[in-house]
């Protein structure tokens, strides 16, 4: 991956208890200060469901901003080794996403993950984990809540309400499309919540999900429409 180093922060062959301890340790290293000003390339990442062979696909879709035009994508298929444990999905899915990122020739300025950032019981969801591993700004934009609660929010796109865990604000419920459920935005790494909400809203193209993660989801599922496919060699 051009100009982005992979930081080997820990072993992936760990027990559930060891994984939880790694999360607690890494959470203290997450930066909640915004370092994103004028991104030109925004990437979305997602992973498919595991198939009968035990294989899953990880995908990254890179879009030029603000046009939101797909300029590169990378998809890899690998065996999933870590068991499904709520709260530990980053140990199951991040190696696949990093492998997909290694196939990029471009360097995204910002990543949006269809996952949690700090809106996580140990404050280290996949978006935060990925940000630390790649040392890049990341945002968590999940379709459901892992932990926390929020109040009512309006029906207009852009309406949002703080997501609380106890007295701590860990993210926000954000309405991205009228008549649909909100998404749950949280700091991943090197962004603050205000910036995270801003960039998610700026990446919408009429769907509930921001365009980078929507296209990554389609790529991982093998469902990307021909109209948004890149020709071989196109950048």
CATH code at 134? 3.30.2170.10
User: Which tens digits make up the pLDDT trace of 75-86?
Assistant: 999 988 888 899
**Does residue 178 belong to any structural domain of this protein?**
no
32 is a domain residue: yes
Helix boundaries (H) for the chain: 16-27, 89-101, 126-134, 193-202, 211-221
Closest by CA to 108, choosing from 69, 88, 68, 137, is 137
Residue-wise pLDDT for 187-231, tens only, equals 999 999 999 999 999 999 999 999 999 999 999 988 765 445 554
Residue 209 maps to a domain: yes
Q: H/E element holding 63?
A: strand 55-64
Which residue matches tokens 């093998």? 222
Q: At what angle do helices 126-134 and 89-101 cross, to 10 degrees?
A: 40
Residue 1 lies in a domain: no
A 10 A CB-CB count for 15 gives 8
> Is 221 a member of any domain?
yes
Instruction: Give pLDDT, residue 83.
Output: 87
**What distance lies between CA 232 and its chain's CA centroid?**
26
pLDDT at residue 224, as a whole number: 66
What's the structural domain count of the chain? 1
Q: Which domain holds residue 53?
A: 16-142+189-228
**Reported pTM:** 0.92
Query: Is residue 157 a part of any domain in this protein?
Result: no
**Residue 9 is assigned to a structural domain of this protein:** no
Rounded-to-integer distance, Cα 45 and Cα 166, Å = 29
Residue 163 lies in a domain: no
């Amino acid at each position: 991956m051009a100009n982005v180093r992979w930081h080997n922060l820990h072993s992936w062959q760990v027990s559930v208890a060891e994984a939880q301890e790694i999360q607690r340790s890494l959470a203290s290293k997450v930066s909640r200060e915004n370092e994103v000003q004028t991104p030109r390339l925004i990437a979305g990442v997602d992973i498919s469901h595991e198939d009968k062979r035990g294989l899953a696909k990880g995908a990254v879709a890179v879009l030029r901003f603000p046009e939101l035009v797909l300029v590169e994508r990378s998809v890899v298929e690998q065996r999933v080794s870590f068991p499904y444990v709520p709260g530990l999905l980053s140990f199951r899915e991040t190696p696949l996403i990093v492998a997909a990122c290694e196939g990029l020739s471009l360097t995204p300025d910002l990543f949006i993950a269809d996952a949690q950032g700090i809106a996580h019981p140990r404050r280290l969801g996949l978006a935060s984990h990925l940000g630390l591993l790649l040392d890049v700004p990341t945002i968590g934009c999940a379709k459901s809540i892992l932990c926390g609660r929020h109040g009512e929010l309006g029906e207009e796109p852009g309406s949002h309400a703080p997501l609380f865990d106890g007295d701590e604000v860990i993210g926000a419920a954000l309405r991205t499309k009228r008549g649909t459920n909100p998404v749950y935005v949280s700091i991943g790494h090197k962004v603050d919540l205000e910036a995270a909400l801003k960039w998610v809203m700026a990446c919408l193209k009429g769907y509930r999900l921001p365009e980078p993660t929507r296209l990554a989801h389609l790529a991982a599922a093998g469902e990307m429409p021909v109209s948004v496919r890149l020709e071989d060699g196109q950048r």
